[in-house]
Structure 1
Amino acid sequence: MGLTACGGETAATPEVEAPAAEPVVEATATTASVSEPAAETKEPVKLTFWNNWDSKNGETIQALVDEFNAQNPDIVVENVFQPYGEMTTLLQTSVVSGTNPDLVALDLILIPQLVATGAVEPLDGYIAADAEFDINDFYPLLAEYDVMDGARYAIPMSTNNMQLIWNKDLFAAAGLDPEVPPATWDEMKAMAEQCQNKEQGIVGFEYYTQPTGEGITWQFQVWLWANGGEFLNADNTAAAFNTPEGLGALTFVSDMLAGNGSQPGPWGLFGEQKACMQLDGSWLFGYRADAPFEWGIAPVPAPEGGQTASNVGGEHIFMFNNAKDKEAAWKFIKFMTSAETQLKWDMATGFLPVRKAVGENPEYLQWVNDTEPRMLPFVEGMPYAHTRPATPYYFEVSDAFSREIQLSLLGEKSPADALAAAEAAVNEVLSQ
């Protein structure tokens, strides 16, 4: 092109014309006459995510899903609400028919039933290959739940736990310092005895005693763990509670229920200002905020020289092994359980941190202090919060256990006899 522009004489010189003019003209002609094929547009991967969060929690999870989709234009995650009471049936049916979602956030206690079907994808390989993902940042007692038969199937995403709540007005009326809760079992029993008022129908400590079922099991496990005991053995094949630690825990509770600071009765006395203390969960801020009495939260009392303990609930996230794109599904799991996302999630919903990076985050702790300082014992209790055994037979185990233990709580059987009967009943379930 340059040679042509300078005039005919220069263009006629063969030594210059051949190497310079031909390639340039050829390139120009090619550019003008041949158009490159348009790059093929790849359809984004579409994944379905089931969960049972609604109301404010539902709005928050939708906003986080939208954020993930905006950051990952090659992936589209559809957020689908499913009612809690129908979730298990819907999932089991969908697994059988092959129409299951790609991803699910589910109550942790329900996950072993799905793992037992063989339809849940193990996550160990994804974690090992992802240098940015630190499984050790999750609270160990919580994260250990997801390891079944040597493989990890889920990641904690939301949680809650139980701590002691006390009625400051009833403490003051009984001559107790309303700002000083009990820290040990002995203190708890002494304060409960002083605070109870049988003439007014006030008990010192409200235990869950009826009906049988998970309510009894869920709360008794707290005292068992605080006393150094375990509920099932390491591989969840046999009862482990019929021990000196278990006997000490059940004796402590049963003795108080014999009129020494407590008594059997219907659940709900604390809300009616008929109980000075009880165990309650971090969800209580939803219905205690406007209570007509002053109340406080403290760590679960422990035996002298023992360690406080708690019981957790919450949802864990996992993928099925027929997910349409497992790498994309892992990317979503990683996003939802990241410290950055979890900080937003916890501050928007009131769920407790599943990661130390959030629970120890100055921004989060300042938010707790500004929003609801009474949440702090729940946050500080996460390192001591246990999970129930990860077995698909847990509900059958819990029912069998509670039926026998209730007899001791009601004073109809000695703690030793009740534990022995509960051990036999639980082992019978597990042997099936």
Structure 2
Amino acid sequence: MRTTKFFPLLMVIAMLAGVLAACAPAATPTAAPAVPTTAPAATEAPTAAPTTAPAAEPVKLTFWFNWEGTNADVMKDLVNRFNAANPDIVVEPVFQPYADMTTLLQTSIAGGTTPDVVALDLILIPQFVETGAIAPLDDYVAADANININDFYPLLANYDVMGGKRYALPVSTNNMQLIWNKDLFKKAGLDPEKAPATWDEMQAMAKQCQDPANGVVGFEFYTQPTGEGITWQFQVWLWAAGGEFLNADNTAAAFNTPEGLKALTYVSDMLKGNGSQPGPWGLFGDQKACMQLDGSWLFGYRKDAPFQWGIAPVPAPAGGTTASNVGGEHIFMFDASPNKDAAWKFIQYLTSPDVQLEWDQKTGFLPVRQSVAENADYLKWINETEPRMLPFVQGMATAHTRPATSKYYAVSEAFSREIQKALLGEASPADALAAAEKAVNDALK
């Protein structure tokens, strides 16, 4: 999930330049000199005038992305180095605000002015695949010995396969794990270096750490307003309990199960004052929450926090497995691009192990490739630079992706609207799950 400001709509039309074909001028024959004799005059074979064909202009690609700040600077540097190494291709990187990206892409499809390559939030890709405007990558992947699909984490690689065809490749990712305030733990008499590993431990520590008189909650759950914030957070507990959000083909709700009831009962019980209370985000940053789930992006804004904090895997229920929810961007090409071979070469470059290793080290994104996550240099860099990143890296092995459906946001809104009633104590977990099941199935229809 991304948190962004919304900007006014921008209309950006990427102009694609075609390759200019150069034609050499026709050769001009020269006449042989006259011979002073009555015999027929001999002639020499015509001699072609020496010509040099002008070099073909490089293929031009337009590449849209919504990374900002350091991430954008790193990406532009990678693009410049690709251009230098491939003089026959020029990639133009174009930043588009996240809030405007969907509208801009829809407008470009309607107007026939699509960019060649796009890096996009994975959850938005299905709706563009549905338009038929994205080019399948299967033939390129099959013919390219440098691409090993099995090296990408399966949860990411499988997300891009829709209707039996592959439409994108992972290029960046992140996930959520548990963050705790060591200062508040110590103040509450808890071991500041020990995070909870199970649901029972988490609730017990949250109850001990909470301080209602001073507005401190033990664990900060996001409960309002409705929307993806509620869905995104709750899915973690659902998966940890062994449940699923939608069925295998994303055509019906799958969460109204004993596993779903277990997860919602656990969360809603804590929100009754047993370690937590309903509310929007903000308490943890104000040192008013002992624990919460947060993403690997937190190193950007927690680095200089005025308190000590640590990262640990998301607690699991007894007999369950830790789980997480991933975000990030995947990269694809539009079918209307006249330069698909060049576009594929660029995609292959950005997703290659060496480039991914550098990208992850310079941006803090997590590896999309298992070989990068296990790379000795990468692990050495983490241990020397930010050891607290390790739970995020290791968490990719047990993380999940949200369903790859073009109706996801409608589903998320319908789900959160009903589940919020249980979080706020307005409905029982069982009733909220039943109502959410109906609402989600209606949204999927």
**Number of the residue aligned with 1:97:** 111
**Number of the residue aligned with 1:18:** none
Q: How far has the Cα of 1:201 moved from its partner?
A: 1.7
Listed as ranges, the matches of 1:315-330 within 5 Å are: 315-330=329-344
- Deviations 1:180-228 (CA, angstroms, capped at 9, x unpaired): 1001111111111111112222111110000100000000000011111
Tell me the secondary structure at the aligned position of residue 78 of structure 1: strand
Q: How far has the Cα of 1:266 moved from its partner?
A: 3.1
Distance 2:317 2:243 in 1: 12
Tell me the secondary structure at the aligned position of residue 304 of structure 1: coil
Listed as ranges, the matches of 1:148-159 within 5 Å are: 148-159=162-173
Q: How far has the Cα of 1:368 moved from its partner?
A: 1.2
Distance 1:223 1:216 in 2: 11
Q: Say yes or no: does 1:54 pair with 2:43.
A: no
**Number of the residue aligned with 2:423:** 409
Listed as ranges, the matches of 1:278-289 within 5 Å are: 278-289=292-303
Residue correspondences, number:
401
Contact 1:163–1:299 (8 Å) recurs in 2: yes
Q: How far has the Cα of 1:38 moved from its partner?
A: 2.6
Identity of aligned residues (%): 74
Listed as ranges, the matches of 1:13-412 within 5 Å are: 37-412=51-426
Tell me the secondary structure at the aligned position of residue 307 of structure 1: coil
Contact 1:140–1:383 (8 Å) recurs in 2: no
Q: How far has the Cα of 1:40 moved from its partner?
A: 5.0
Q: Computing the radius of gyration over CA atoms, which structure comes out larger, 1 or 2? A: 1
Aligned-pair RMSD on alpha carbons?
Answer: 1.4
Distance 1:259 1:201 in 2: 12
Unaligned runs of 5+ residues in structure 1 are 1-28
Distance 2:256 2:298 in 1: 32
Distance 2:215 2:72 in 1: 41
Tell me the secondary structure at the aligned position of residue 93 of structure 2: strand
Q: How far has the Cα of 1:35 moved from its partner?
A: 6.4
Distance 2:261 2:148 in 1: 39
**TM-score normalised over the length of structure 2:** 0.88
Unaligned runs of 5+ residues in structure 2 are 1-43
Distance 2:164 2:274 in 1: 45
Distance 1:324 1:123 in 2: 15
Distance 1:151 1:186 in 2: 43
**Number of the residue aligned with 1:16:** none
Contact 1:165–1:278 (8 Å) recurs in 2: yes
Q: How far has the Cα of 1:37 moved from its partner?
A: 4.0
Q: How far has the Cα of 1:265 moved from its partner?
A: 2.2
Distance 2:129 2:157 in 1: 16
